[in-house]
Chains A and B, each alone.
Chain A
Amino acid sequence: MDFHGKSVLVTGASRGIGATIARSFGENGANVVVNFLQNEGLAGKVVEDIRAQGGEAIAIQADVTKPADVGRMAERIIDAYGSLDIVVNNALSHYSFNPKTRKTAWEIEWDDYRRQIEGSLGGAYHICKAAIPHMKQQNGGRIINIVTNLLDFPVVPYHDYTTAKSALLGYSRNLAAELGAFGITVNCVAPGLTYPTDSSRETQEEVREAIIRLTPMGRLTMPGDIAGGVLFFASDWASFITGQCLRIDGGLVMT
C-alpha cells in the first residue's frame, strides 16, 4: 500500500506499538507525525529512522489529554503537511501490565478509572475533535483507535485500563455512525498481549506462556502485527469498512 501524499498522526509514538506503527507508515510513503509526551530523544530517533529510509516525518510534543496542546499540534501538522488524513489514537496514560501488582476490584479507586478514561478516551476525543474539521474539509479521513482484546476476554482483569478501552470502543462506533456521511471511517484495532513493549515488560513469563498456550497461532502479539491491522484500516482496501474492531491476537479471541 502506498500512502504517498497522505499525512498520518500517531499518538504516543516515541516507543512501543506507536513507534512501530509510525515506522510502518513511514516505510510506506506517508508523511508521519510522531507525537510524544516526554521522550523527545526516542521520538527523534523514530523520525530519523523514517527519514533515513527516504520517508518524511516530524516529531511533535503534545499531551493528548490537554485540548490546547492538541490544537497546537493540529496547526503544526497542517503547516507542515497541509493535511491530516489518518489519525491513530495509540496514546494512553502510563500503565504497567503486571498481573501481580494490579489492583483488584475491591482495591481500585475511582481515580484509577478516571486516569485511564482521561488517557484513552479523553485523549482520543481531543485528537478527533481537532482532526475532524480537517477531515470534513477534505471530504474524508481515517481514524483508528487502539483498544485491547481484554475487552472480550479479560485474561487478567486490568479494571481501569480495560474499562477505559471499552469506552473508547463505544465512542468509536458512535463516531463511525455519524462521520460516515462525510467519508470518514472510524475503526479499532484490539491487540492481545504485545511483547516486547515497555508496558508489558512486567508481565510475568508464566502469564505469557499461559496466553501462548491458549493462542491458536502459538505466540504473543508483536508490534508489527498491530501495525499491519492499522495500515489496513488506513489503506484504500478498507475504504468501505467503518465501525469495526479487529482483533490482532493470533486467534485468542474469536467473535
Chain B
Amino acid sequence: MKKNDITKAPAATGDRTNQPEILPVYAVPRGVEFSSYTDRLIEGGSGRLLLRLPCLTPEIMMDIMHKVAENRKKYLAHLKTADIVDKIDAAVQKWLNPEYELRRQAETWLPAITDYDPEMIRLELKRFMRTFRKKELLRFLDEEFDQAAVLDEFRPRKSGGMSRAYGPESIFHVFSGNVPGLPVWSLVMGLLVKSGNIGKTSSAEPLMAVLFVRSLYEVDADLADTIAILPWKGGTSALEEPVIAAVDAVIAYGADSSVERIREQVPGSKRFLRYGSKVSMAMVGREALTADRFGETVHRLADDVSTYDQQGCLSPHAVVVEDGGAVSARQFAQLLAAELQRCEERRPRAAVSQEEALAIRRVRNQYELAALNGESVTVYSSKAGTEWTVIYHQEQGFAPSPLNRTIHVFGCTALEDAPSYIEPYRELLQTVGIAVGPERLQQLADLLGTAGVNRICAIGKMSRTPAGWHHDGRFNLLDLVRWTDIEWSAEQEAERYDPDAE
C-alpha cells in the first residue's frame, strides 16, 4: 500500500485537498502561548479532521490560571448580571442560525467524534441551545434568586438588612463526554455567578465547549478571556493539582469512579459539586395504552431510549407498563422492539466498544437463560448485533440496563405499587418519564418524590430538561454562591455616623 502511494507521487494540488482540516480543541485567554501540540485524527462521513491538542505542563497551567483570574478580576467581576445574560444570549442567538459557521462545524464534526447519528446531533443540539436564550436565562436566575441583582450589589432583604451573593472567583469544571453540549450548561452557570472558568474536556467530546467559547469571543473577547477550555487525560495529577489549588470550586460530571477520583483531590475547604451516576425510568399508565394512543406512546418511549443511546442519566433503563390498556405489557415490549428497529434504520446507534457489546450480550444471556429456566421473561433483540434489546418481565420491578438502547419492560397491575420495587435505587433514581391521566399524576408524583425521584416529566421528553430544573434535585447557582449579609444593626450603626444625622 505504502509503496503505491510513493510511486504514484500525486501532484501537489491533489495532496493539498487530501490534507485534513485542523481544528483546535482548546480555548485559552489571549496571550497564552503553547510551544507544541499533538494532533488526533478523526475520520468520519464528512472527511478527515485533525483535532489539535496543546501539550500542557504544570507551568503553562499556572500561567493560564493566573490569566483567567486576572481577566476575571479586571472585567467579569464588574459586569452586571443583566449584561452577562445579554452577552450569553448574543452568543446563543448565533447558534440558532443554521448557517452559523461554528454550528455547521459542530454539526459536521461532532458525529465523527462521537459516532452519534448526525441527524440526532443536529436536532438535539438545536433544542439544547434554545434553552439558553435570554428569557430562559432570566427564568433560570429568577428560579434561584428572589432578585438576580444580589449578584451585582447588596440588596435589601425583606427581613431587614441587606445581602449580596458572591460566586467563586474561579471554577474548575470536569466535563463528561456522553452528551454533546452539556459543558455549555456548566459554563453558563459559571458565567452567571461571575466566576473565572477552567474546563477539562473529555476525549469523547472535546469540541462543543471550545466552540461555545469561540462564540463568546466573537461577542465579547474580554468575556471569553475569563475562560480556559483544555483537553487532557483525566487523572494527570501534575496538571490537575495546580488547577484545583487555584480554584474555589470544582464541578465534576460523569461516572462515579471518575467523579470520586476528582473528589479525593479536592480539599474539604473548597466547594465541590458532583453530578455523578444516576438512573431513570418510565411509567406508562393504562390511559396511554388505549387503542388510539398506544402507537404514539411506544414511539415516544423509543425516542427516549434512542436519544444519545441512553448515555445521559435522564434516559430510561426500564419502563413499567400497566395492565388494562388495549395492548398488554408483552405486546408493548414487542411494539417497542419493532419501533427500536425502525429507530435503528433511521438513526443508527453509535458504535459500541467490545466491553459495551459484551455487557449487552451478558444481560441478554442472563434473561434468556432465566426464561429457559421457566422464568416469565422474554428477550427481544436486534438480529445482527447488539443494536437494541427489549427485555420483557411479566412481574413488576426495576432493573438497570447496560445502556446503548437496551431497556427492560415490566408489566404491572397498578403503577402506584412502584415504591415497593424502586426503593433499593433510592439514591440513584433521577428522572421518571410518565404517561398517566391528570387525576393520578399528583398522587403518583408524590409517591415517586417520596421514594427519591427528583424529576417527573412526560415520556418522549426525558432527555430534554427545561431551564431552571433542579439538577439532581438541587439548586444550580445557589449551590455555588456564598452570601455576605449587612445586618440591620450595621445599617443602623452606620446611620449614627452620618455627620448629617439628626
Residues of chain A touching chain B, judged by Cβ–Cβ distance below 8 Å, are 136-137, 139-140, 181-183
Q: Please, what's the 1-or-0 string for B337-350, where 1 marks a CB less than 8 Å from any CB in chain A?
A: 11101000000000
A-B contact pairs, 7 of them (CB 8 A): A136-B334, A139-B334, A139-B338, A140-B338, A181-B295, A181-B339, A183-B338
Could you count the A-B residue pairs with CB atoms below 8 Å apart for me: how many are there? 22
Please name all residues of chain B whose beta carbon is closer than 8 Å to the beta carbon of A139 when the two chains form the complex: 334, 337-338, 341, 380
Residues of chain B touching chain A, judged by Cβ–Cβ distance below 8 Å, are 295, 298, 331, 334-335, 337-339, 341, 378, 380
Query: How far is the CB of B368 from the nearest CB of chain A, in Å?
Result: 12
Chain A residue at minimal CB-CB distance from B338: A183
Chain A residue at minimal CB-CB distance from B381: A139
Evaluate contact between A181 and B335: CB separation under 8 angstroms.
yes
Please name all residues of chain B whose beta carbon is closer than 8 Å to the beta carbon of A136 when the two chains form the complex: 331, 334
Q: B335 touches which one: A137, A140, A182 (CB < 8 A)?
A: A182
In the complex, A137→B338 CA distance in Å? 10
Query: How far is the CB of A43 from the nearest CB of chain B, in Å?
Result: 30
Other A-B contacts than A139-B338, A182-B338, 7 sampled, CB-CB below 8 A, are A137-B334, A139-B334, A140-B338, A140-B341, A181-B295, A181-B298, A181-B335
Query: How far is the CB of A78 from the nearest CB of chain B, in Å?
Result: 15
Chain B interface SS verdict (over half): helix
Chain A interface SS verdict (over half): helix
Query: How far is the CB of A135 from the nearest CB of chain B, in Å?
Result: 10
In the complex, A136→B327 CA distance in Å? 13
Please name all residues of chain A whose beta carbon is closer than 8 Å to the beta carbon of B378 when the two chains form the complex: 137
Query: How far is the CB of B224 from the nearest CB of chain A, in Å?
Result: 49
Chain B residue at minimal CB-CB distance from A181: B335
Chain B residue at minimal CB-CB distance from A179: B338
Please name all residues of chain B whose beta carbon is closer than 8 Å to the beta carbon of A183 when the two chains form the complex: 338, 341
Query: How far is the CB of B388 from the nearest CB of chain A, in Å?
Result: 10
Which residue, of A136, A139, A182, A183, has the highest number of chain B Cβ atoms within 10 A? A139
Chain A residue at minimal CB-CB distance from B294: A181
Query: How far is the CB of B434 from the nearest CB of chain A, in Å?
Result: 23
Please name all residues of chain B whose beta carbon is closer than 8 Å to the beta carbon of A137 when the two chains form the complex: 334, 378, 380
Please name all residues of chain A whose beta carbon is closer than 8 Å to the beta carbon of B335 when the two chains form the complex: 181-182
Shortest 3 CB-CB contacts between residues of A and residues of B: A183-B338, A139-B337, A136-B334
In the complex, A180→B298 CA distance in Å? 14
In the complex, A139→B378 CA distance in Å? 12
Chain A residue at minimal CB-CB distance from B295: A181
In the complex, A183→B345 CA distance in Å? 12
Please name all residues of chain A whose beta carbon is closer than 8 Å to the beta carbon of B298 when the two chains form the complex: 181
Query: How far is the CB of B381 from the nearest CB of chain A, in Å?
Result: 8
In the complex, A100→B337 CA distance in Å? 53
In the complex, A183→B335 CA distance in Å? 9
In the complex, A94→B199 CA distance in Å? 79
In the complex, A60→B203 CA distance in Å? 59
Chain A residue at minimal CB-CB distance from B342: A183
Chain B residue at minimal CB-CB distance from A239: B345
